[in-house]
Amino acid sequence: MPRRIFNHADDDAAFREQGFVMLDLLKPTDIQSLSCFYEDVDGLHDSEFSATVLTDCFDMRQRVHQKVSSVFRERLLPVLNNYRIVVGSFAVKRANSNFSKVGLHQDLTFVKNEGEEVGLSLWCPLSEVNAENGYLGVVPGSHRFNSNYREPCSLPYPELINLIEEKFVTYIPMRPGQVLFLDNRMFHCSPRNTTEHNRVVAAGIAVPRESQLIYCHRDLEVDTDILEIYEVTDDFWLSNLVGERPHEGCCIGKVPRIVSKLTVADLATETSNAVPI
């Protein structure tokens, strides 16, 4: 019997089939509180696309993590079966930004036995999101395609990206208060923000309470075919830079970098059962 992810059976079943589920969880007071807090750190999110967890300003990372994760713990954890929050962040697309598109990718691996243990990406817009300002696009069922250890990188199927974006991505308009839970393995992307207002999302990562948090590092100068696997503590994302070898944690081994084979037929089969949003 697979470990239950969501406490409600219907949510759990939908998530296992699609790789994502959307729930109404945040209250208007939560949105107001997060929005007001974001205004204090807006100046440090000045790239066309930026995420707090990617900045080298570690003090700001800690402040944002504490604020966002406190809301997530109160509102999101009650619907999950014994999870914990390990990342709290803002993901921001600046107004009228030509280069704020985020291409198709999978999130990196956060848990050792992915599949048996499921890491969750959390996505909560603070204003309405749509085609104009950078709503999220997902490929339903894609959490079954590539469960190997993953470092931070773009989608490892460059020859399929245009086809996937054209035929297999489902875009999800959302209102403030709605929360999208994604399997870390999901293929996802978002278009650029063409509006007059910044698009701000409270985002994060949750992992099972019993799971060991890991980080996968790929040395692009020495051996691109090998991943170094590190066991790290829950505060790892407050003081380490994505893409760099960790300065803390325990390297538990090196493994070949493997990318599972993927065909157009695989995509067609898995996405044929998609449930309209």
The proportion of the chain whose per-residue pLDDT surpasses 70, expressed as a percent, equals: 98
Q: 45 pLDDT exceeds 90?
A: yes
Q: d(Cα 157, Cα 24) in Å, to the nearest integer?
A: 33
Q: d(Cα 112, Cα 115) in Å, to the nearest integer?
A: 9
At 111 the three-state DSSP class reads: strand
Helices (DSSP H) in 124-261: which residue ranges?
Answer: 161-167
Q: pLDDT, tens digit, for every residue of 8-24?
A: 999 999 999 999 999 99
Q: Of 267, 9, 261, which is closest to residue 147 (Cα–Cα)? A: 261
Q: 270 pLDDT exceeds 90?
A: no
Residue-level pLDDT at 1: 72
What's the angle, vertex CA 113, arms to CA 112 and CA 119, rounded to 5? 80
Phi and psi at residue 206, to the nearest 5°:
-125, 145
Contact of 108 with 101, CB cutoff 8 Å: no
Q: pLDDT, tens digit, for every residue of 131-162?
A: 999 999 999 999 999 999 999 999 999 999 99
Residue-level pLDDT at 275: 53
pTM of the complete model beyond 0.85: yes
Could you report how far apart the first and last alpha carbons of the chain are, in Å?
28
The average confidence (pLDDT) of the chain is 96
- Residue range 106-118: average pLDDT? 95
Confidence of residue 2 (pLDDT cuts 50, 70, 90): confident
Domains of the chain, by residue range, sit at 9-211
Confidence of residue 238 (pLDDT cuts 50, 70, 90): very high
Q: d(Cα 53, Cα 56) in Å, to the nearest integer?
A: 8
The class (CATH top level) of 9-211 is mainly beta
Instruction: Enumerate long-range contacts of 69-73, CB under 8 Å, 24 or more apart.
Output: 69/204, 71/26, 71/30, 71/33, 71/34, 71/202, 72/122, 72/202, 72/204, 72/206
Residues near 45 by beta carbon (within 8 Å), at least 6 away in sequence: 52, 90, 92, 94
Residue-level pLDDT at 273: 57
- Residue range 31-51: average pLDDT? 97
Q: pLDDT, tens digit, for every residue of 180-211?
A: 999 999 999 999 999 999 999 999 999 999 99
How distant is the alpha carbon of residue 140 from its chain centre?
15
